Amino acid sequence: MERVEFITESPDSGDGVSTKSMMLNMGPQHPATHGVLRIVLHLDGEIVVKAVPYIGYLHRGIEKLCENITYQQCLPYTDRMDYLAAICNNIGFILTVEKLLGIEDEIPERAKVAEVILFELGRIESHMVGIGTHALDLGAMTAFFYCFKERERIYDILELVCGARLTTSYPRVGGLPLDLPEDFEEKIRNFLKIFPETIDEVDKLLTRNKIWVNRTKGVAYISAEDAINLGLSGPNLRGSGVPHDLRKSNPYLDYDKYDFEIPVGTDGDAYSRYLCRMEEMRQSVKIIEQAINNLPDGPYAADLPEIVLPKKELVYTKMESLIRHFVLVYEGLKPPVGEVYHGVENPKGELGYYLVSDGTAKPYRMRVRGPSFVNMQAIAQMVKGAFLADVITAIGSLDIVLGEIDR
């Protein structure tokens, strides 16, 4: 599809017909804005002259709320930022607090491997919604149902592990709160058997679908240079051909021990980003396979009495454990004075937590670098000079989530 040049003023037709540009308000309640994003579009006919996104309709004050609660209590709030992959947010936050406490090296292997499995499940979960709703917005409803079928399977696993489907709040500082359930391995292996078939099905439905290709190829283009300058991350950056992935460049959770590749797009358009996401899910399957084969036995939480809660049966039977439990819950854990930044490769890009500790049990400041917030900046540039219908493609292909943008 050829891109239309940016039109500055209406052509003077000379026959007395005057044209005017039109302002169109898209959102905050719109089925394709993935939440409550509002975009004010300045249109010349069907061509977008200017697009201005307005945010803040879901601002809940998470960062401010976290200043008044203990570190452990912050965990459930991180779920509700990028709720499509809550488990990735949780793990990112836990890793940051562990870094602040300086106990990264004491986390047992079993907890680390389990976190990798759950992190990659979160990635699949998020991409399934990203692709499913993107297709739904462009009129392909079937893919949405196939994607959600698979998402429900991931929900089942998460429910088995932590009791919640969507808002997991799962790992704790220092490891896992409970050992993994007995049939965890079996469920994961079962999922790994079924899931690649679904990717192939979605692949068949979309990748060579003429309508899908026409709606996405060459649409919402962003060059590699612009993508870097805007600070994009995740599949949106890799779709433009920049092989940047924090799992490779700045490995956490021992990601450097796993054998996987970073899919990179070539065109920087919506279709490339879609292909990147599809391939990323296949790579995630590869990572989960390696992790489940190497899931070690042994302790699931670090042996740090001042940080990790004692086991429940000890709390009921041993006085010392009861006191430790009481103190840890009542006072919270107290990291040393200092500040720390830790970024993880969320499904949507680099999710960073910046924590400032003043030595008390409550964070002095918690700042979240949400990938969607940064990625969303690209919309204005992507849709400039494009058709109105391509705005939907741009939003869908950026895969933004408003909980994280507004926080």
Partner 1 sequence: MNSSLGGDGFLTTTINYIANWGRKNSLWPMPFGTACCAIEMMGAFASRYDISRFGAEVARFSPRQADLMIVSGTITYKLASVCRRIYDQMPNPKWVIAMGSCTCGGGPFDSYAVVQGIDEFLPVDVYVGGCPPRPEALIDAIMKIQKKIENEGAPII
Q: Kindly list the residues in this chain that would bind partner 1 in the complex (CB under 8 A).
A: 28-31, 35-36, 56-62, 64-65, 76-77, 79-80, 83-84, 86, 129, 133, 144-146, 148-149, 151-152, 155, 165-167, 402-403
- Give the DSSP per-residue string, 11-78: ---SSS-----EEEEE-SS-TTSTTT-EEEEEEETTEEEEEEEE--TT---HHHHHTTS-HHHHHHHH
Q: How far is the CB of 72 from partner 1 (least distance, A)?
A: 14
Helix pair 86-101, 71-79: axis angle to 10 deg: 160
Nearer to partner 1 by Cβ, of 129 and 309: the residue is 129
Q: From CA 50, how far away is CA 132, in angstroms rounded?
A: 28
Structural tokens at position 95: 């890793």
Nearer to partner 1 by Cβ, of 83 and 354: the residue is 83
Instruction: Calculate the alpha carbon distances from 302 to 108, 135, 268, 278, 295 in Å.
Output: 6, 44, 43, 36, 16
Nearer to partner 1 by Cβ, of 86 and 97: the residue is 86
Closest CA to 345 of 226, 270, 263: 263
Q: How far is the CB of 61 from partner 1 (least distance, A)?
A: 4
Q: How far is the CB of 58 from partner 1 (least distance, A)?
A: 6
Q: How far is the CB of 66 from partner 1 (least distance, A)?
A: 10
Q: From CA 193, how far away is CA 208, in angstroms rounded?
A: 24
Side by side, the strands of the sheet bearing 349-357 are: 338-346, 349-357, 365-369
Nearer to partner 1 by Cβ, of 148 and 354: the residue is 148
Q: How far is the CB of 185 from partner 1 (least distance, A)?
A: 24
Q: How far is the CB of 178 from partner 1 (least distance, A)?
A: 20
Nearer to partner 1 by Cβ, of 144 and 255: the residue is 144
Nearer to partner 1 by Cβ, of 75 and 116: the residue is 75
Nearer to partner 1 by Cβ, of 167 and 216: the residue is 167
Nearer to partner 1 by Cβ, of 127 and 151: the residue is 151
DSSP 8-class letter at 178: S
Q: How far is the CB of 77 from partner 1 (least distance, A)?
A: 7
Element (H, E) at 338: strand 338-346
SS3 state of residue 172:
strand
Per the CB < 8 A criterion, the answer to whether 359 and 336 are in contact is yes
Q: How far is the CB of 300 from partner 1 (least distance, A)?
A: 26
HSE-up of 8 (CA within 13 Å, CB side)?
0
Nearer to partner 1 by Cβ, of 133 and 272: the residue is 133
Q: How far is the CB of 249 from partner 1 (least distance, A)?
A: 30
Closest CA to 175 of 243, 255, 238, 101: 101
Per the CB < 8 A criterion, the answer to whether 5 and 111 are in contact is no
